[in-house]
Amino acid sequence: MARFLAVSNRKGGVGKSTTAVMLAHAAAAWGNQRVLVMDLDTQCNASLMLVGGEAFAKARRAGLTIADYIYDRFDNVADDESGYVLNGVGDVAHAMTRQGRVSLLPGSQKLEDIQGELFLKQSKKDIDADAVAVQVRGRMRRMMKHFGMDFDLVVLDCPPGLSFAALAALDLADLVLVPFRPDFVSQFALDQVAQLVERVETHDDLQDIPLGERRYVCLANTLKGAGEERMLLDQLALDHPLLKTRMPLLDSIARAFDWDERKKSMEQKYQDAIPFMRALHDEVFAVPHMKPELEPAA
């Protein structure tokens, strides 16, 4: 069964999709893992990064997206889900002799409408709105979990808001990775996602959970190396588990966002970001419940 890694922050534009795709490529190339990226965002950035506009439009027309899967299977979870997945995606070349590769469950602009429809469907069975929400969220989590059978790692690229899909991803995740930009609102954003993940109501309740026991870790992204950034990070580290790895603001990372048909090596794609990605990869997959199972003997 795969490990599930959600990349989440309610704040937009902090590097969730960028980090999700970087870690997917890194886990396939360096960790030899079979990785599935599940695109839970109606903006579909991770899908566009991994297959480009043309292949994404084709998948949409063919009904191969997360919204189609969830809608089709809402009443019948047991059916085969592998038909909704695109294999061998991304613009990094992986050796044929190794099992590491990246697959994608494409996102969809329809995901929000579908969640509304599922809510109505479930309302026919339950009257209480809170109970309906719990049911829909739980069923989405179970449907997402199904994909774990064929992969070593499932990366859930979450939307900035709080959809059922985003909440289900937080429930399902073995680890929630929270990228943030070190600005004056990041404390508030981290507090919010932390309380959701740890299912507590207040900052004080959160502080009762030791940092080492939290199910999330935070990643400082887009650093410019300024002194006030370091002060802010020191402050945040008192309240939240922060990764030692910090991602600088780099053109190579910004460029990696654009889809390119030509498959290339990790070094060609990520250039001067490689040492930071290595550190990120090694640190994330050293977290006890994220460690991959031992590689099978050749």
Ligand X SMILES: Nc1ncnc2c1ncn2[C@@H]1O[C@H](COP(=O)(O)OP(=O)(O)OP(=O)(O)O)[C@@H](O)[C@H]1O
The site for ligand X (CB under 6 A) is made up of 12-18, 41, 43, 45, 160, 221-222, 247, 249-250, 253-254, 257
For residues 235 and 229, is the Cβ–Cβ distance under 8 A?
no
Query: Which of 17, 187, 28, 9 has the alpha carbon at shortest distance from 102?
Result: 28
For residues 157 and 46, is the Cβ–Cβ distance under 8 A?
yes
Q: Residue 11 CB, nearest distance to Mg ion (Å)?
A: 11
Q: Which is nearer to ligand X, 52 or 63 (CB)?
A: 52
Could you write out the DSSP letters of every residue in 143-210? HHHGGGGG-SEEEEE--SS--HHHHHHHHH-SEEEEEE--STTHHHHHHHHHHHHHT-SSHHHHHTS-
Interacting partner of 13 out of ligand X, Mg ion, none (Cβ under 5 to 8 A depending on kind): ligand X
Q: Rounded distance, CA 107 to CA 119, Å?
A: 19
Of 33, 42, 45, 65, which lies in the binding site for Mg ion, with binding defined by CB under 5 A?
Answer: 45
Query: Which of 163, 160, 88 has the alpha carbon at shortest distance from 118?
Result: 163
Helix (H, G, I), strand (E, B) or coil at 104: strand
x-or-dash pattern for Mg ion, window 94-133, by CB under 5 A?
A: ----------------------------------------
Assess 245 for contact with Mg ion (CB under 5 A).
Answer: no
Q: Which is nearer to Mg ion, 22 or 132 (CB)?
A: 22
Q: Which is nearer to Mg ion, 45 or 222 (CB)?
A: 45
Q: Rounded distance, CA 175 to CA 185, Å?
A: 23
List Cβ neighbours of 51 (8 Å cut-off, separation of 6 or more). Answer: 59, 86, 89, 104, 106, 259
CA-CA distances (angstroms) from residue 224 to 227, 249, 260, 282?
9, 6, 27, 23
Q: Residue 107 CB, nearest distance to ligand X (Å)?
A: 10
Q: In this chain, which residue has its C-beta nearest to Mg ion?
A: 17
Residue 75 has what DSSP assignment? T
Q: Which is nearer to Mg ion, 17 or 103 (CB)?
A: 17
Interacting partner of 247 out of Mg ion, ligand X, none (Cβ under 5 to 8 A depending on kind): ligand X
Assess 16 for contact with Mg ion (CB under 5 A).
Answer: yes
Which part of the chain contacts Mg ion (CB under 5 A), choosing from 41-49, 64-72, 89-97, 287-295? 41-49
Q: Which is nearer to ligand X, 237 or 257 (CB)?
A: 257
Q: Residue 105 CB, nearest distance to Mg ion (Å)?
A: 15
Q: Which is nearer to ligand X, 98 or 255 (CB)?
A: 255
List of residues contacting Mg ion (CB under 5 A)? 16-17, 45
